[in-house]
Amino acid sequence: MSESPVPHDLPIYRRIADGLRARILSGELRDGDRLPGENALMADYSIARATARQALAVLINEGLAVPKRGSGVYVRSFKPIRRHGSRRLSREQWGEGRAIWDADTRGRPFTVDEVEVVREQAPEEVARILGGPDAWVRRRRYSVDGRPVQLATSYFPAQLVEGSPVTLPDTGPGGVYARLADLGLAPAHFTEEVRARMPAPRETEFLGLPGGTPVIVIARTAYTSPGSPVEHNEMVLDSAAYVLQYDFDA
């Protein structure tokens, strides 16, 4: 094929990917729509199979498309859950503010599975925060609409919660925080550290993540009013499923 001399000469697979991306972002191709497959791209652009795959891989790694074996490659949908960090200063109280991203704020039910409660040694970084390695550890996975969206691991100083309901799989109404309050250890102050990165294979598996989906990692420590750490919680979130919201005053 004759090529016109272009100063910014992008490789073929990039040009094809750019074209498909534009069609997705413009709304011409919508959530769940089928993209041109490998065979279609090979025919349309007179390219080899590997090149067509490379073009589609770009979009898959950007999280814009999802491949389905034996079926096709489809535009990916994004319907996040809104997670409120500091809800205390709800913006509805002081302004007619509106959210920039649409999110399903309706009470979609969370289900919890894979609950594991064990007594073990906390990793060094966590032990440094809690003041010692002896800990009760609660691991669980949260799902919404049958889809896993979050992995969470909580660490509690062993001597503080030993023999309490915090060490039981079912913590009853109000959850662990209510049980901590029963012990006179009500959390009063929180600090959260937020990162984003690509998932490890184990996280990809447990969260059922398609390619090109980063995870948000939140490390949150809860302190009592006197300032003693009572919980350290490490959460791994499907980034396509969440929008985090924080409200605060100057």
Partner DNA sequence: AAGTGGTCTAGACCACTCA
Partner DNA sequence: GAGTGGTCTAGACCACTTA
Q: Report the site for DNA in 37-96 (rule: CB under 7 A).
A: 37-40, 46-51, 53-54, 56, 67-73
- Of 234, 235, 232, the C-alpha closest to 135 is 232
Supply φ then ψ for residue 66, to 5 degrees.
Answer: -130, 125
Q: Does 192 bind a second copy (CB under 8 A)?
A: yes
Supply φ then ψ for residue 218, to 5 degrees.
Answer: -115, 125
Taking a C-beta distance cutoff of 8 angstroms, is the pair 130, 155 a contact?
yes
Give the footprint of DNA on residues 17-36 (CB under 7 A).
35
- For residue 151, what are its two tokens? 């992995």
State which of residues 41, 215, 235, 236 lies at the interface with a second copy (CB under 8 A).
215
Rounded to whole angstroms, what are the CA distances from 123 to 56, 137, 200? 40, 11, 18
Query: What's the number of CA atoms in the CB half-sphere (13 Å) around residue 243?
Result: 13
Query: Of 164 and 228, which CB lies nearer to a second copy in the complex structure?
Result: 228
Would you say the C-alpha torsion 144, 146, 150, 152 has a positive or negative sign? positive
Query: Of 1 and 250, which CB lies nearer to DNA in the complex structure?
Result: 1
Partner touching 47 among DNA, a second copy, none, CB below 5 to 8 Å by kind? DNA
* Contact window for a second copy (CB under 8 A) among 26-34, 150-158, 160-168, 183-191: 183-191
Query: Of 41 and 237, which CB lies nearer to DNA in the complex structure?
Result: 41
Give the footprint of a second copy on residues 72-111 (CB under 8 A).
80, 85-86, 88-91, 94-101
134-144 and 147-157 strand pairing: antiparallel
- Find the shortest distance in angstroms from Cβ 207 to DNA: 18
- Find the shortest distance in angstroms from Cβ 18 to DNA: 12
Q: Does 173 bind DNA (CB under 7 A)?
A: no
